[in-house]
């Protein structure tokens, strides 16, 4: 299959008049799949009302079909096409955070294709805060189901190049709108119970949610091993680089010693750090991902760094750890997955 690529300036005026986006929207209306930028990561979109389109999403990603997708909408009226009910707290969260990196799990509307929700009676929905995504959804005229546009098991794409590397020849189109902003996926919150529950930490923090709706719980599976997670996708191994990754809690001298030991064994070793410590380390590949003083900048660069380790076939990666405050919670959650729980403490 040929993958069409359209470059679109996200700061352009009147994006709904943009010929490239019109072409992309036509493909979507023919139940083809098209990747597009959101403010978090690139998504792989398909018509959320048609199973045929959803099948193509799962096939292109190689994703297990029991892992449901997020439906993206471009205006508030469209919510009625996707969900059957909006509880009061969900309404308050929508007012506060949409468009933005917050996905709500709500009772499913009857028109949403079964395969979007993998047979569940709930559906995940969000309104992305990205002009290209909003214009594309509006032009398509239907809600768009879109998981992250990576091959299953790879880090989510934060640039069009990442999508192209993974899915070239497997999807009909790719809208290149530049690098995404947030860098980690949306926060997923189950709003079907009285107390909203975070199923996946992300761009919107627990503190921000609690400020709007009071008590918010966190899926115990996120902190305790062995519990079945409520968000089906969370159980899969995600974001795993090819090299073996270790999170290291300890000073940089300690990390440097670990590097040396592995290099002595003949391994190619990488270090994931931030620009504050970048020049300190001596390893085969040292990648600075943002600045530690600004965890948002770490989130933005994280997946690109993980992919770069892959490109260089590094055998072992030692990563610094980050404070689990604000978006740091999402950063550590993704790093723990990438490291498959490998943790070294000084």
Interface positions with ligand TXA (CB under 6 A): 38, 40-41, 43, 67-70, 101, 103, 105, 117, 120, 122-124, 128, 146-148, 185-186, 188, 199-200, 231-234
What's the CA angle centered on 42, arms 38 and 46, to 5 degrees?
A: 90
CB 229 to ligand TXA: min, Å? 8
Which of ligand TXA, Mg ion, none binds 27 (CB below 5-8 Å, type-dependent)? none
Q: Which residue has the tokens 């189901």?
A: 145
| 45 to 40, 85, 194, 211: CA distances (angstroms) | 14, 24, 31, 32
Cβ closest to Mg ion, residue 41 vs residue 314: 41
Cβ closest to ligand TXA, residue 259 vs residue 299: 299
CB 38 to ligand TXA: min, Å? 5
CB 174 to Mg ion: min, Å? 17
Cβ closest to Mg ion, residue 259 vs residue 327: 327
What's the CA angle centered on 266, arms 262 and 271, to 5 degrees?
A: 45
CB 34 to ligand TXA: min, Å? 12
Cβ closest to Mg ion, residue 148 vs residue 186: 148
Edge-to-edge strand order for the sheet containing 217-218?
4-7, 173-176, 34-36, 43-47, 144-145, 70-72, 122-126, 102-107, 187-190, 197-200, 217-218
Whether the upstream peptide bond of residue 21 has omega within 30° of 0, thus cis, is: no
Cβ closest to Mg ion, residue 148 vs residue 333: 148
Residues in the chain, total: 346
Residues that bind Mg ion (CB under 5 A): 148
Cβ closest to ligand TXA, residue 199 vs residue 314: 199
Which of Mg ion, ligand TXA, none binds 231 (CB below 5-8 Å, type-dependent)? ligand TXA
Which of ligand TXA, Mg ion, none binds 74 (CB below 5-8 Å, type-dependent)? none
Cβ closest to Mg ion, residue 148 vs residue 180: 148
Rounded Cα–Cα distance for residues 231 and 53 (Å): 22
CB 126 to ligand TXA: min, Å? 6
Q: Which two tokens stand for residue 84?
A: 């059957």
Q: Which two tokens stand for residue 231?
A: 């968000």
CB 25 to ligand TXA: min, Å? 17
Helices (H), 105-146: 131-140
Closest by Cα among 11, 37, 10, 64 to 234:
64
Instruction: Find the residue with minimal CB distance to ligand TXA.
Output: 233
Which of ligand TXA, Mg ion, none binds 142 (CB below 5-8 Å, type-dependent)? none
CB 283 to ligand TXA: min, Å? 31
């Amino acid at each position: 299959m040929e993958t069409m690529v359209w470059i679109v300036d996200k700061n352009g005026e009147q994006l709904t008049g943009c010929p490239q986006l019109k072409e992309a929207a036509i493909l979507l209306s023919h139940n083809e799949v098209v990747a597009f930028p959101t403010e978090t990561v690139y998504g792989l979109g398909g018509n959320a009302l048609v199973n045929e389109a959803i099948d193509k999403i799962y096939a292109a990603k190689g994703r297990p079909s029991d892992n449901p997708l997020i439906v993206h909408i471009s205006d508030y009226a469209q919510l009625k096409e996707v969900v059957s009910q909006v509880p009061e707290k969900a309404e308050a969260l929508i007012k506060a955070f949409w468009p933005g990196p917050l996905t709500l799990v709500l009772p499913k509307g009857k028109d949403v294709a079964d395969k979007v929700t993998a047979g569940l009676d709930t559906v995940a929905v969000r309104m992305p805060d990205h002009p290209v995504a909003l214009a594309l959804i509006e032009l398509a005229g239907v809600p768009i189901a879109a998981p992250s546009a990576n091959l299953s098991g790879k880090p989510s794409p934060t640039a069009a190049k990442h999508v192209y590397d993974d899915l070239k020849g497997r999807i009909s189109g790719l809208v290149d709108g530049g690098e995404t902003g947030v860098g980690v996926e949306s926060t997923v919150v189950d709003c079907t119970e009285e107390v909203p529950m975070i199923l996946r930490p992300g761009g919107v923090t627990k503190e921000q949610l609690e400020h709007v709706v009071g008590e918010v719980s966190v899926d115990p599976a996120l902190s305790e091993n062995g519990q079945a997670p409520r968000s089906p996708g969370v159980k899969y191994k995600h974001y795993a680089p090819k090299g073996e990754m270790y999170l290291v809690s300890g000073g940089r001298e300690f990390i440097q010693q670990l590097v040396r030991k592995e290099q002595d064994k003949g391994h190619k070793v990488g270090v994931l750090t931030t620009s504050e410590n970048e020049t300190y380390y001596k390893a085969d590949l040292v990648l600075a991902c943002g600045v530690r003083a600004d965890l948002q900048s770490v989130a933005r660069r994280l997946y690109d760094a993980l992919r770069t380790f892959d490109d260089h076939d590094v055998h072992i990666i030692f990563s610094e750890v980050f404070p689990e405050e604000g978006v740091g919670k999402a950063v550590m959650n993704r790093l723990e997955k990438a490291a498959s729980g490998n943790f070294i403490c000084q």
